[in-house]
């Protein structure tokens, strides 16, 4: 750094001194403009203007360089200085003559190293001597270079694609050490975007792209690739509170624009959509990720692009680079999760409630003789006390013991542990003059924080490119293999229906708990002929044997034939295959197996037979996909209208994705022997405990599905004068959608765009803003809904009906006017960069409008169906994406930050189904679109406090305060409910900072989400009464005496309770909280050593880092102690990783 800063003033001083003697003479003033003329021509012009002649040694004309300058009324000396700058001569003014003299050459051999700011050696950087193009050098792998120059005042010009150029004077007195700065405002210049069909410079595009570099991908430590782009890409939202049944996607790009069709972004890996599990990808193998956001960027993906596209490109080799090995490893330790995060009832409170319900007779049904369901221990004690079997004193002491038991302490001890994730990755990349290669191997082993859960993954990747015929034919091959095995033996709970279960005695011996059937029944049932019928959670954990194995491979073959310069043909083919095998072996010791065997046991006068055979049960589920993708593409590039550049790609693509699923169950299975026993599935067996007649569960199912697509596409970009950019694309997709006639299968989609680099205009003189570009695009993306059809279709029920015959359910009635969903995206964007990239970024405004969306329409139930799916809904999203890159501090300490801000607001504009009553809007597992509101929104019922006399919650019915809960929650008037806000964040993003000082690097990422609400939990008595919930500590704050209503909103406890009273409280406004929060996501500290700085280092570079993740919330709007990303469940525990990356 210092070198550059010093070099510039030194040069200036040198120039001043050199021209000092001539200043004594009066000098004529010259006005002259020369553009790229030989030196001789310039001197001749000067002679004509001033009368000064010129002369020199005979060779000077031959060795001189062309000159360009423009001066107004400049002194002669200044003009001559510009003429002789960079010339291998000097001049002297003698009288009215200019004498041209060969410079006294001082041959230097300059030797040095070039690094980036992280002190990584840079290879392939070009060093030129200014004015002497023949002298050039390129840095070697370790950043080393040496170059000869002829003059001490020469200028070295150092340039590299990804780094800012530098000029400095040669210095042969020592090794020159040069640090290059990465082009941060790369946005403006050199960033390459990959659409999956072509790579192009961001500069020449009109679309909205976001690129995540390898460096940014490597910043985070995780096994899963997608975790690494969380919080570092604009407009990409990771949904943490996904509710099943509502068709939510884990990732959304620019909000939501479909209701029932596929909500997931398309994931493309190495040119083609990826059909496997994303966890199969090793993040270490990824070169970059491009997110395609608007129509111009994504429309090339046609009917798959409606939700945005994430293009993942794996690492490739480099031409002319010796093999370079690199090894990465990390160890990540995670805390135990906080089991006490959810404030459930204390055991003491829970038992008090049980006692209250018992006294009211609420357990009479359960306790009556014919009920054989398990009874919780406290209720059993109360009952035994009532029946006089135990004394009141004994009862009280037993209850007191139970009140002191908290199941979570056992879970914490026996079910949870610290996690440890280990990652190892080794790769080599390089290439010769005609080939490039990248080979990598990775191994991951994650010990989950759930005891007995483990994940192992092996990945292999090889990417090769060969120029078969120079400048003609190139072959590229890619092979990717990934296998993993997950052990899922621990589900993290004990499955017990009361919170005071003791799972082990003082010595750690497993204890049974009350689950399934009543203890008094299972203790004696079968008279010793049946298997033990107790449920022992710790033994379940020990005996569990549940695994999921994934295997995945991809083979890529690409051929590029260059017909002539600017015209080439590509053929790509990808074969992908993957399968997942879930295997759950429940041996004879597991409760499931014992219970099933016992339940089906037949007692014929004391002779027991077992229709479910004695032995383990093996469930296997296997899903396989096979993908064949082929593409033929022509790339054409040419100049058009002299200063214009035309870039056209066009092609056809065929995709065939075949999936197969199989589920099987083997009874009487013994692992090791691998033998199983046939069972009688046909007979309806009376159940041992209740004589219900049922068949033995039959799980063998096969399924197959097929997705086929034929697509044609064309995409053209035209750049005129380097500042006007036009783009257009069109695509047609056809698919084997069910029962659609061929001519209706396809959908044509298109986009157009324009870009204007204002800063390149002649009239542009804003010095502080040297780069400014405007982009506007518009077009249509599509989305496929594969669940509907234009004919009446029926779904064959895989296991038939309950009589052993086939069975079919009508999936949808005939809908001849079915169409594909279309999403129009308008985007206006601005890219800018301040001088020296001190601040740069982009701002986009977009409107996404989903048209012909699949929506539900209500049908008169007399038709035989209550709803009908068809293209009846519309949605609109508005949004802003802002990215700012700042270099806050340049110098020995470099501080840079990136601010990401996304704002998106979606609204359903047309929806035909009448939904109601209001209670429908409080169901969590269905989508309830409401015109004028976001698709995922929260509604609540007006709250009028607690009744001062009874502590009953009060709502509003027909404008009056009411306790008619049934009518309130079932009100058909939707105006009776209050819209509380969207349930997904409106504004979100991150603020990432990094500091670099010498070998040290420090960075942290702060992420935020604003503008949304969530519904929190509280005490809902009926759920506690019937044992489906452990309640909530709000119980402590419940209304108990008149006057309490002033301090609390928690209703009083009553029995019996109207279910609707709980339902009303649950839906009321008082339980809705703001989700806004700011989180310190992670912190990374790194230290790096390079051989150039430490010549005795045995490797060329080694970097150590510490990475801490999930650090916690900095600020949140709610005061209920809830992390809005974890409204249910537990927050992700904090983790600390220590890692090392070595380049050999």
Partner 1 sequence: MIKQSWSSLISPLLLVMTSVLTAGCHKDDFLGKNPNSSLVVPSTLTDFQNLLDNDQVMNLFPALGEISADNYFIDQSLWQSAGTRVQNAYTWEKDIFDGEGNDEDWNYPYQQVYYANVVLDGLEKLKTDNSTIATYNSVKGQALFTRAFGLYNVAQLFAPVYDAMTAATDSSIPLRLSQDVKAPTVRSTVKQTYDQITGDLRIAVGLLPATVSMTYVNRASRPAAQALLARIYLSMRKYDSAGLYADSALSAHLTLLDYRQLNNSGLPIPFSRQNAEILYQSSFVNYQDYSQVLTGYSYFDCFVDSNLIRSYDPNDLRPSFYYFLLGVTDSFGLKGSYAGSLFPFGGLATDEVYLISAECKARAGDLNGAASKLNTLLVNRWKPGTFNGYAFTTQQEAFDTVLSERRKEMPFRGVRWSDLRRLNKEGANITLFRKINGAVDSLAPNSIRYVLPIPPDVLLLSGIQNNPR
β partners of residue 542: none
Query: CA 786, CA 1124: separation in Å to the nearest integer?
Result: 34
Rounded to a whole number of angstroms, the minimum distance from the CB of residue 369 to partner 1 is: 5
Radius of gyration over alpha carbons of the chain, in Å?
37
Of the two residues 943 and 965, which places its CB atom closer to partner 1 in the complex?
A: 965
Of the two residues 73 and 960, which places its CB atom closer to partner 1 in the complex?
A: 960
Contact 437, 464 (CB under 8 A): yes
In sign, the C-alpha dihedral spanning 351, 353, 354, 359 is positive
Half-sphere exposure of 336 (CA within 13 A, CB side): 15
Query: CA 444, CA 225: separation in Å to the nearest integer?
Result: 13
Rounded to a whole number of angstroms, the minimum distance from the CB of residue 714 to partner 1 is: 16
1056: cis peptide before it, omega within 30°? Answer: yes
Query: CA 758, CA 767: separation in Å to the nearest integer?
Result: 13
Of the two residues 230 and 733, which places its CB atom closer to partner 1 in the complex?
A: 733
DSSP, res 284: G
Rounded to a whole number of angstroms, the minimum distance from the CB of residue 355 to partner 1 is: 18
Rounded to a whole number of angstroms, the minimum distance from the CB of residue 692 to partner 1 is: 7
Rounded to a whole number of angstroms, the minimum distance from the CB of residue 503 to partner 1 is: 27
Of the two residues 765 and 914, which places its CB atom closer to partner 1 in the complex?
A: 914
- Residue the block writes with tokens 């969530």: 1014
407 three-class SS = helix
Structure tokens at 689: 């405990």
In sign, the C-alpha dihedral spanning 198, 204, 207, 210 is positive
Of the two residues 972 and 1112, which places its CB atom closer to partner 1 in the complex?
A: 972
Rounded to a whole number of angstroms, the minimum distance from the CB of residue 815 to partner 1 is: 9
- Residue the block writes with tokens 């160890």: 331
**Residue 179: CB atoms within 10 Å:** 18
Q: Give 990's contacts (C-beta < 8 A, 6+ positions apart).
A: 231, 232, 898, 899, 900, 1005, 1006, 1007, 1008, 1081
Of the two residues 78 and 1022, which places its CB atom closer to partner 1 in the complex?
A: 1022
Of the two residues 131 and 813, which places its CB atom closer to partner 1 in the complex?
A: 813
Rounded to a whole number of angstroms, the minimum distance from the CB of residue 475 to partner 1 is: 7
Of the two residues 179 and 868, which places its CB atom closer to partner 1 in the complex?
A: 868
Rounded to a whole number of angstroms, the minimum distance from the CB of residue 398 to partner 1 is: 23
Rounded to a whole number of angstroms, the minimum distance from the CB of residue 1089 to partner 1 is: 43
Rounded to a whole number of angstroms, the minimum distance from the CB of residue 583 to partner 1 is: 23
Neighbour-count burial of 77, counting CB atoms closer than 10 A to its CB (0-12 exposed, 13-18 middle, 19+ buried): middle
Query: CA 787, CA 1122: separation in Å to the nearest integer?
Result: 37
Which candidate, 926, 925, 956, 920, places its Cα nearest to that of 939?
Answer: 920
Rounded to a whole number of angstroms, the minimum distance from the CB of residue 197 to partner 1 is: 15
The 3-state secondary structure of 305-334, one letter per residue: CCCCEEEEEECCCCCCEEEEEEEEEEEEEE
**Residue 1069: CB atoms within 10 Å:** 17
Structure tokens at 1053: 């406890």
Of the two residues 584 and 635, which places its CB atom closer to partner 1 in the complex?
A: 635
Rounded to a whole number of angstroms, the minimum distance from the CB of residue 111 to partner 1 is: 39
* Residue 378: φ, ψ to 5°: -65, -45
Element (H, E) at 296: helix 295-298
Of the two residues 368 and 1041, which places its CB atom closer to partner 1 in the complex?
A: 368
Quote the crossing angle between the two packed helices 347-359 and 377-386, to the nearest 10°. Answer: 40
Rounded to a whole number of angstroms, the minimum distance from the CB of residue 735 to partner 1 is: 7
Rounded to a whole number of angstroms, the minimum distance from the CB of residue 1071 to partner 1 is: 22
Neighbour-count burial of 1111, counting CB atoms closer than 10 A to its CB (0-12 exposed, 13-18 middle, 19+ buried): middle
Query: CA 173, CA 3: separation in Å to the nearest integer?
Result: 13
Of the two residues 861 and 1095, which places its CB atom closer to partner 1 in the complex?
A: 861
Structure tokens at 33: 């403009």
Rounded to a whole number of angstroms, the minimum distance from the CB of residue 1062 to partner 1 is: 11
Query: CA 360, CA 1053: separation in Å to the nearest integer?
Result: 12
Of the two residues 780 and 868, which places its CB atom closer to partner 1 in the complex?
A: 868
Rounded to a whole number of angstroms, the minimum distance from the CB of residue 561 to partner 1 is: 8
Which candidate, 747, 909, 883, 755, places its Cα nearest to that of 827?
Answer: 755
DSSP H stretches of helix in 1100-1140: none
DSSP, res 1132: P
Contact 492, 355 (CB under 8 A): no
Of the two residues 387 and 642, which places its CB atom closer to partner 1 in the complex?
A: 387
Of the two residues 506 and 863, which places its CB atom closer to partner 1 in the complex?
A: 863
Of the two residues 6 and 814, which places its CB atom closer to partner 1 in the complex?
A: 814
In angstroms, how far is the first alpha carbon of the chain from the final one? 26
Neighbour-count burial of 453, counting CB atoms closer than 10 A to its CB (0-12 exposed, 13-18 middle, 19+ buried): buried
Of the two residues 728 and 968, which places its CB atom closer to partner 1 in the complex?
A: 968
Ramachandran area for residue 248 (φ above 0: left; ψ -120 to 50: alpha; else beta): beta
Rounded to a whole number of angstroms, the minimum distance from the CB of residue 371 to partner 1 is: 7
Rounded to a whole number of angstroms, the minimum distance from the CB of residue 463 to partner 1 is: 18
Of the two residues 767 and 809, which places its CB atom closer to partner 1 in the complex?
A: 809
Element (H, E) at 456: strand 453-469
Of the two residues 560 and 1032, which places its CB atom closer to partner 1 in the complex?
A: 560
DSSP, res 412: I
Contact 599, 642 (CB under 8 A): no
């Amino acid at each position: 750094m210092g070198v550059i800063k010093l070099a510039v003033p030194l040069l200036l001083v040198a120039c001043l001194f050199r021209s000092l003697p001539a200043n004594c003479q009066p000098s004529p003033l010259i006005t002259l403009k020369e553009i790229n003329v030989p030196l001789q021509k310039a001197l001749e012009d000067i002679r004509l203007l001033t009368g000064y002649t010129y002369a020199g040694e005979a060779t000077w004309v031959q060795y001189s360089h062309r000159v360009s300058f423009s001066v107004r009324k400049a002194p002669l000396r200044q003009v001559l200085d510009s003429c002789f700058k960079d010339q291998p001569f000097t001049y002297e003014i003698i009288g009215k003559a200019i004498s041209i003299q060969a410079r006294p050459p001082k041959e230097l051999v300059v030797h040095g190293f070039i690094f980036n700011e992280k002190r990584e050696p840079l290879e392939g950087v070009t060093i030129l001597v200014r004015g002497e193009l023949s002298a050039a050098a390129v840095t070697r792998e370790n950043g080393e270079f040496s170059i000869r120059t002829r003059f001490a005042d020469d200028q070295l010009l150092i340039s590299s694609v990804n780094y800012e150029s530098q000029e400095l004077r040669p210095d042969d007195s020592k090794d020159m050490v040069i640090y290059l700065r990465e082009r941060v405002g790369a946005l403006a210049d050199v960033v390459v975007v990959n659409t999956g069909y072509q790579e192009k410079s961001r500069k020449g595009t009109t679309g909205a792209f976001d690129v995540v570099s390898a460096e940014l991908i490597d910043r985070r430590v995780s096994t899963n690739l997608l975790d690494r782009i969380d919080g570092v890409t604009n407009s990409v939202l990771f949904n943490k509170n996904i509710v099943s049944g509502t068709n939510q996607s884990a990732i959304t790009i620019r909000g939501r624009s479909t209701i029932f069709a596929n909500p997931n972004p398309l994931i493309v890996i190495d040119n083609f959509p990826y059909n496997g599990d994303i966890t199969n990808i090793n993040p270490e193998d990824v070169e970059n990720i491009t997110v395609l956001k608007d129509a111009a960027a994504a429309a090339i993906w046609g009917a798959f692009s409606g939700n945005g596209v994430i293009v993942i490109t794996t690492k490739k080799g480099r031409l002319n680079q010796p093999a370079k090995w690199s090894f990465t490893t990390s160890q990540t330790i995670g805390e135990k999760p906080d089991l006490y995060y959810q404030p459930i009832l204390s055991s003491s409170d829970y038992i008090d409630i049980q006692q209250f319900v018992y006294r009211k007779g609420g357990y009479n049904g359960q306790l009556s003789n014919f009920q054989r369901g398990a009874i919780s221990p406290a209720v059993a004690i109360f009952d035994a006390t009532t029946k006089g079997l135990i004394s009141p004193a004994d009862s009280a002491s037993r209850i007191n013991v139970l009140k002191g038991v908290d199941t979570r302490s056992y879970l914490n001890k026996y079910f949870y542990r610290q996690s440890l994730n280990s990652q190892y990755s080794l790769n080599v990349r390089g290439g010769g003059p005609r080939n490039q290669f990248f080979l990598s191997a990775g191994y991951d082993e994650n010990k989950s924080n759930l005891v007995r859960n483990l994940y192992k993954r092996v990945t292999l990747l090889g990417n090769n490119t060969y120029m078969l015929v120079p400048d003609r034919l190139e072959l590229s091959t890619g092979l990717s293999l990934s296998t993993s095995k997950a052990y899922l033996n621990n589900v993290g709970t004990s499955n017990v229906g009361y919170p005071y279960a003791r799972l082990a005695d003082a010595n750690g011996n497993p204890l049974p708990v009350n689950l399934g059937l009543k203890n008094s029944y299972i203790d004696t049932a079968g008279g010793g002929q049946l298997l033990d019928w107790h449920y022992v959670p710790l033994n379940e954990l020990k005996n569990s044997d549940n695994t999921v194995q994934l295997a995945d491979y991809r083979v890529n073959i690409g051929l590029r034939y260059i017909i002539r310069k600017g015209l080439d043909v590509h053929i790509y083919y990808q074969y992908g295959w993957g399968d997942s095998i879930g295997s759950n072996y429940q041996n004879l010791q597991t409760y499931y197996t014992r219970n099933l065997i016992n339940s089906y046991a037949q007692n014929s006068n004391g002779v027991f037979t077992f229709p479910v055979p004695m032995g383990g049960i093996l469930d296997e589920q296997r899903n396989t996909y096979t993908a064949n993708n082929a593409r033929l593409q022509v790339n054409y590039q040419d100049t058009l209208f002299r200063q214009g550049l035309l870039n056209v790609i066009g092609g056809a693509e065929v995709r065939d994705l075949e999936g197969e699923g199989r589920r099987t169950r083997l009874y009487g299975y013994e692992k090791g022997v691998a033998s199983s026993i046939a069972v009688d599935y046909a007979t309806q067996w009376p159940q041992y405990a209740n004589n219900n007649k049922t068949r033995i569960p039959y799980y063998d199912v096969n399924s197959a599905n097929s997705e086929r697509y034929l697509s044609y596409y064309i995409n053209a970009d035209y750049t005129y004068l380097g500042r006007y950019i036009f783009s257009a694309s069109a695509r047609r997709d056809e698919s084997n959608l069910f029962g659609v006639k061929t001519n209706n299968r396809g959908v044509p989609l298109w986009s157009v765009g324009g870009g204007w680099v204002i800063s390149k205009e002649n009239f542009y003189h804003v010095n502080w803003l040297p780069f400014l570009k405007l982009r506007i695009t518009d077009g249509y993306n599509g989305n496929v809904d594969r669940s509907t059809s234009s004919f009446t279709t029926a779904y064959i029920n895989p296991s038939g009906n309950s009589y052993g015959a086939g069975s079919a359910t009508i999936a949808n009635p005939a809908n001849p006017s079915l169409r594909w969903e279309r999403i129009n995206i308008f985007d206006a964007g601005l890219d800018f960069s301040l001088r020296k990239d001190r601040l740069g970024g982009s701002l986009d405004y977009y409107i996404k409008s989903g048209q012909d969306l699949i929506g539900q329409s209500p049908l008169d139930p007399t038709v035989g169906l209550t709803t009908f799916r068809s293209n009846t809904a519309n949605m609109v999203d508005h949004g802003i994406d802002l990215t700012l890159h700042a270099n806050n501090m340049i110098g020995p300490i470099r501080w840079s930050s990136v601010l990401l801000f996304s704002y998106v607001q979606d609204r359903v504009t047309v929806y035909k189904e009448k939904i109601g009553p209001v209670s429908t809007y409080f169901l969590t597992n269905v989508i309830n679109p409401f015109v004028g509101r976001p698709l995922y929104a929260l509604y609540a019922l007006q709250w009028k406090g607690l009744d001062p006399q009874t502590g009953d919650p009060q709502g509003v019915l027909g404008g009056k305060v009411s306790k008619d809960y049934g009518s309130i929650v079932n009100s058909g008037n939707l105006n009776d409910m209050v819209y509380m806000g969207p349930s997904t964040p409106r504004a979100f993003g991150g603020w990432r900072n990094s500091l670099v000082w010498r070998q040290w690097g420090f960075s942290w990422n702060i992420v935020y989400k604003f503008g949304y609400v969530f519904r929190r939990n509280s005490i809902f008595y009926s759920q506690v009464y019937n044992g489906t919930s452990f309640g909530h500590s709000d119980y402590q704050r419940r209304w108990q005496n008149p006057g309490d209503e002033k301090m609390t909103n928690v209703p009083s406890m009553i029995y019996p309770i109207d279910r609707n009273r709980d339902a009303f409280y649950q839906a009321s406004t008082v339980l809705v909280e703001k989700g806004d929060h700011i989180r310190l996501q992670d912190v990374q500290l790194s230290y790096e050593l390079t051989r150039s700085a430490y010549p005795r280092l045995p490797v060329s570079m080694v970097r150590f880092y510490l990475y801490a993740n999930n650090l916690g919330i900095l600020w949140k709007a709610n005061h209920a102690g809830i992390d809005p990303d974890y409204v249910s469940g537990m927050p992700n525990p904090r983790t600390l990783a220590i890692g090392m990356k070595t380049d050999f």
